[in-house]
Structure 1
């Protein structure tokens, strides 16, 4: 996420860190580089200009010049300004507790991920104790209705739809169905187009006036960059929506939409979508996003995801097995399933400070758990419990059953054996009271060969 922008900003700030003093000359050069980085990231020109001017002004202030570590102060200033330009604080979804059902209307262009977002939001609300219903008011594209129904089945949330091409009738019918079924949140998926047109806007406007939604959310593909901002402005001028949802953020290497949209339309970014699965939806926190852009990671979001996704009892039992060297391939398979619940591996690695720099981007893109899962699933229970019994003929059978090559089976078994050796070393060091360091682990491994 935002790799290009992050790399350029990091390089510029490193140059400043190497300066003995901060002055107008080196700040001027740094601001020029930051402005170029922002513009190459497709940030709106006026937004980039204001951001750079604000950073320059604060960087040349007396508190920075007299600071013990002016370079660190400037990093803080850049972080604060990035946070401010993206909205300052998180703006939560506004669902009045006493209004039942509350109404969320979702608008956006076709292909922006609007329908998928509706399902993601429904699942998130359901997890938080709500009882939502999805309403298919995108009545012109049959695939949209079927897509919403399929997603509704996946998350066990009912979907209201009609056969007629009447968006108003579908929306009002969905509202009545919600009241009859004691649903407390109605999520209305409206029609999109490949581009903005009068018919779409007029229909969305009529739906808004009739439904009086508590939240009107605009969904936009972040990879559109500056065009995403222009589209948001056109929708906002007509609909005056309440918040923005940025989708496909995991594929956005530039970041122009995230940095520009709040300033241009003056509406908060409320959610960001970082994958195609129904769990891949995060609340947008401007301060956390600024830290990620500057390569500082987002450990708070990482911990929150872990708390939501991981089974604490299972995790503690697994830790105990690891320390007793009783960890087998069944346990390893279970751990993979828990890890997958937390979202994309690339997204998780980006949250951990410094880790995204240690793992090459091409390695992240090539991470695929499916072959590993297939190999383990093709083993017998005894083989998963005692992988040391897997000889040549068994390896061939497992490879054939999993649709992989024998070399891949060998690689998995080798990596699993290495992991168990490492855990034995960690356990020995912990019991002996010695510090767990790379050097001590290497020494322990050498002595036990």
Structure 2
């Protein structure tokens, strides 16, 4: 995610690490590649100009401190400016108490509005709301059916509009939602391949009739400057309150993410981070800035773990570790918990890209590695998992054949287990876990 920009910004920081102080000359050299990277990443030129100018101004105006090196100063400046460009802070979605209340999605065709409607529905249902999915895209063939399928797959109530006109449809939806008590109503609207007056008129009519508490512009992060141009046009024509960026996890450039909030003045509230209906995440500018700088995003990783990992199971494993007890049965349970958190590449991308993770190619990680380890563990008998010391050559060969993996992988897993067991027996590790209130 945003690989090119991240690489060049970290390169600029590395360049200044070898300097005694920040000067006009070395900051110019350091920022030259960053500027080119931002432009290559399809970041809007106005954003690039503002960003580079402010970084340079702050770097040259920074108070000199003998305890803070130039590279460290630049990290702080980059972090502050990236966070500012991305929108300062997370802006949560505020659902009013009035029933029915409408959340209106707008955007061009093909950006993922309909799928995003399903993701929003899942998120709001999880928060205790009773959302309803409705489409007022009355011209696109099968638009109603598409949203109906998504509603069924995601387990969210759906209403199929009978009216032929947009205004009549809005009134029909309002009456149905009010009678049934759905809250909020998520409106999926029509889109076009390009902005046209007919679309804008239609969206204005829907907005006027249902008075949505929030109009959300949905944009495909992969389209870069095109997403920004359409956002600016939508903002001028109908106005919107916030942005959802789809496919941000697959965006290696970052043009839309680094431009859209700055140029529209509207916050990015959510980002699509995968295909599943649970893959809609709150957008935190400061956390993305941290990831761009290679410092990871531990807070988001902890939140993922809290959602995916069974609390009682995690507590049981922590207690066993505190007592310096950890078997291959526990190792297997750990792997199952990790799988719930998402792909290995996604988990590692949240960690600081330093030490053993520095230079790791997340795109080419073997995602089947955990599956293979699980297969090896499941091919062991319960007795072998409880007491790995009984393993001999014959047992290793049997496990390898049963799991369909080479003996070398069985040996590697046993070696990793022994290393992990040594680690949890270290005094400092036991002291940390010993302080946890179970």
Q: What is the TM-score of this pair, normalised by structure 1?
A: 0.83
Higher mean Cα deviation, 343-352 or 20-29?
343-352
Counterpart secondary structure, 2:277: coil
The reply on whether 1:363 has 2:364 as its aligned counterpart is yes
CA–CA distance in structure 2, aligned partners of residues 175 and 60 of structure 1: 57
CA–CA distance in structure 1, aligned partners of residues 320 and 146 of structure 2: 43
Contact 1:167 1:190 in 2 (8 A): no
Report how far residue 7 of structure 1 moved: 0.7
Contact 1:64 1:73 in 2 (8 A): no
Task: Tell me the alpha carbon deviations over residues 212-270 of structure 1, each in whole angstroms, 9 at most, x when there is no partner.
Answer: 10010011111111111111112111111101111111111111111111121121111
Judging changes above 3 Å, is the alpha-carbon distance between structure 1 residues 131 and 422 closer, same or farther for their aligned structure 2 residues? same
CA–CA distance in structure 2, aligned partners of residues 414 and 167 of structure 1: 65
Report how far residue 106 of structure 1 moved: 0.6
Matching residue of 1:95: 95
Matching residue of 1:20: 20
Judging changes above 3 Å, is the alpha-carbon distance between structure 1 residues 37 and 202 closer, same or farther for their aligned structure 2 residues? same
CA–CA distance in structure 1, aligned partners of residues 206 and 13 of structure 2: 48
Contact 2:189 2:203 in 1 (8 A): yes
Matching residue of 1:424: 421
Higher mean Cα deviation, 195-204 or 233-242?
195-204
Higher mean Cα deviation, 384-393 or 1-10?
384-393
Contact 1:233 1:265 in 2 (8 A): yes
CA RMSD of aligned residues (A): 3.2
Matching residue of 2:205: 206
Report how far residue 276 of structure 1 moved: 0.7
Contact 1:135 1:170 in 2 (8 A): no
Report how far residue 178 of structure 1 moved: 2.5
Counterpart secondary structure, 2:218: strand
Report how far residue 51 of structure 1 moved: 0.9
Contact 2:104 2:188 in 1 (8 A): yes
Matching residue of 1:326: 327
Task: Tell me the alpha carbon deviations over residues 276-316 of structure 1, each in whole angstroms, 9 at most, x when there is no partner.
Answer: 11111111111111111111111111122222222111112
CA–CA distance in structure 2, aligned partners of residues 163 and 333 of structure 1: 52
Matching residue of 1:50: 50
Matching residue of 1:177: 176
Counterpart secondary structure, 1:253: coil
Task: Tell me the alpha carbon deviations over residues 24-83 of structure 1, each in whole angstroms, 9 at most, x when there is no partner.
Answer: 111122232221121111111111011111111111115247774333222211211111
CA–CA distance in structure 1, aligned partners of residues 177 and 299 of structure 2: 36
Contact 1:219 1:246 in 2 (8 A): yes
Report how far residue 379 of structure 1 moved: 5.8
Report how far residue 390 of structure 1 moved: 6.5
Matching residue of 1:438: none
Judging changes above 3 Å, is the alpha-carbon distance between structure 1 residues 124 and 268 closer, same or farther for their aligned structure 2 residues? same
CA–CA distance in structure 2, aligned partners of residues 107 and 276 of structure 1: 20
- How do 1:222-241 residues align onto structure 2 when only pairs under 5 Å count? 222-241=221-240
Counterpart secondary structure, 1:244: strand
The reply on whether 1:242 has 2:241 as its aligned counterpart is yes
Judging changes above 3 Å, is the alpha-carbon distance between structure 1 residues 64 and 393 closer, same or farther for their aligned structure 2 residues? closer
Contact 2:270 2:282 in 1 (8 A): yes
Counterpart secondary structure, 2:288: helix
CA–CA distance in structure 1, aligned partners of residues 8 and 43 of structure 2: 14
CA–CA distance in structure 2, aligned partners of residues 15 and 186 of structure 1: 52
CA–CA distance in structure 2, aligned partners of residues 144 and 384 of structure 1: 55
- List gaps (5 residues or longer) in structure 2: 433-438
Matching residue of 2:279: 280
Aligned residues: 423
Higher mean Cα deviation, 282-291 or 241-250?
282-291
CA–CA distance in structure 1, aligned partners of residues 153 and 46 of structure 2: 43
CA–CA distance in structure 2, aligned partners of residues 245 and 18 of structure 1: 40
CA–CA distance in structure 1, aligned partners of residues 377 and 111 of structure 2: 36
Judging changes above 3 Å, is the alpha-carbon distance between structure 1 residues 433 and 255 closer, same or farther for their aligned structure 2 residues? closer
CA–CA distance in structure 2, aligned partners of residues 338 and 151 of structure 1: 27
Contact 1:297 1:351 in 2 (8 A): yes
Report how far residue 381 of structure 1 moved: 7.9
Judging changes above 3 Å, is the alpha-carbon distance between structure 1 residues 369 and 275 closer, same or farther for their aligned structure 2 residues? farther
The reply on whether 1:75 has 2:75 as its aligned counterpart is yes
CA–CA distance in structure 2, aligned partners of residues 371 and 433 of structure 1: 29
Task: Tell me the alpha carbon deviations over residues 166-195 of structure 1, each in whole angstroms, 9 at most, x when there is no partner.
Answer: 444444433333323322211111122223
CA–CA distance in structure 1, aligned partners of residues 71 and 374 of structure 2: 50
CA–CA distance in structure 1, aligned partners of residues 105 and 157 of structure 2: 17
Contact 1:333 1:376 in 2 (8 A): no
CA–CA distance in structure 1, aligned partners of residues 164 and 410 of structure 2: 56
